Amino acid sequence: MVARLAHPRVLLALGLFLVGAVLAFHAWNGPSDAMLVPRFVLTLWCGVALAITLVEMSRVTGLGSWSLSTLLVLMAAMLIAAIAVASLGFLLPALPLVALTLWLFRLHRPLPLAVGTLAIAGGLWFLFHHVLLIRLPTLLTSGAL
């Protein structure tokens, strides 16, 4: 039973059910006018997610695993960069993110890695922010960086 609960598919379905339940609780305690549709949608979400959890539990066998080790690094880097953009501007978080993406996709030679990072992160930032004047989040109030 515990092994089945720890299976990623069951965990995901259970997670969806729990998130749905918390949101549904919030919706049922909110103003009835604004929460009319959310109540219906979230209650249905909970019901379906619970059904999926039960079905997945009956189907899975053993402790499944998703090999995530290096993928987690990429996911974390993307999330950190996305959060950092608000305070550091677009360019500074983009440079290490692009370098890491290139590295993880097996581009290990220093020159192509450096050129790729500068061209993709720096080049696109310069193109959009300074040439096309489509302003991206900035570090400096002057908007230069």
Partner 1 sequence: MDIILAAVGDAFTWQALLAIVVGTWAGIIIGGLPGLGSVVGLTIFLPFTFGMDTITGMALLIGVYCGSVYGGSITAILINTPGTPQSAATTFDGYPMTQQGRIGEALGWATFASFFGGVLSCVILIFCAPQLAKFAVNFGSIEVFALICLAMMCIVGVSKDSIMKGLVCGMIGFFLSMVGADPITGANRFTFGSYALSSGLTLIPVVVGAFALSEIFMRFASRDDPGAKIPEAKLRFPRLGEWFKRVIELVRGSLIGSFIGALPGTGAAAAAFISYATAQKLSPRREHMGQGEPDGIIASESSNNAVTGSSFIPTLALGIPGDVVTAMMMGAMVIHGITPGVRLMVDQAQTVYALFVVLIIVNVAMLILSKPSIGLFRYLFRLHQGYVMAAIVMFSFIGAATVRGNPLDLVVAAVTGILAYALRRAGYPLAPLVIGMVLGPELESSLRRGLLIKNGDFLGFFTHSGISMALFSLLALFIVWTVWSSLTQWRQSSANARRAESDASK
From candidates 4, 6, 128, 139, binder to partner 1 by CB under 8 A:
128
Tell whether residue 21 is a contact of partner 1 (CB under 8 A): no
Is-contact 74 41, C-beta < 8 A?
Answer: no
Site for partner 1 in 35-94 (CB under 8 A): 35-38, 41-42, 44-45, 48-49, 51-52, 55, 66-67, 70-71, 74-75, 78-79, 81-83, 85-86, 90, 94
| # chain residues binding partner 1, by CB under 8 A | 62
- Tell me how far apart the alpha carbons of residues 145 and 124 are, in angstroms, rounded to a whole number: 13
Shortest Å distance, C-beta 61 to partner 1: 15
**Helix spans in the chain (H):** 2-5, 8-28, 36-59, 69-88, 91-104, 110-117, 124-126
> In this structure, which amino acid lies at residue 8?
P
For residue 95, is it left (φ>0), alpha (ψ between -120 and 50) or beta?
Answer: alpha
- Tell me how far apart the alpha carbons of residues 144 and 101 are, in angstroms, rounded to a whole number: 26
Shortest Å distance, C-beta 83 to partner 1: 6
Give me 85's structure tokens. Answer: 């953009």
Binding site for partner 1 (CB under 8 A): 8-9, 12-13, 16, 20, 23, 26-27, 30-31, 33-38, 41-42, 44-45, 48-49, 51-52, 55, 66-67, 70-71, 74-75, 78-79, 81-83, 85-86, 90, 94, 97-98, 101-102, 104-107, 112, 116-117, 120-121, 124, 128, 132-137
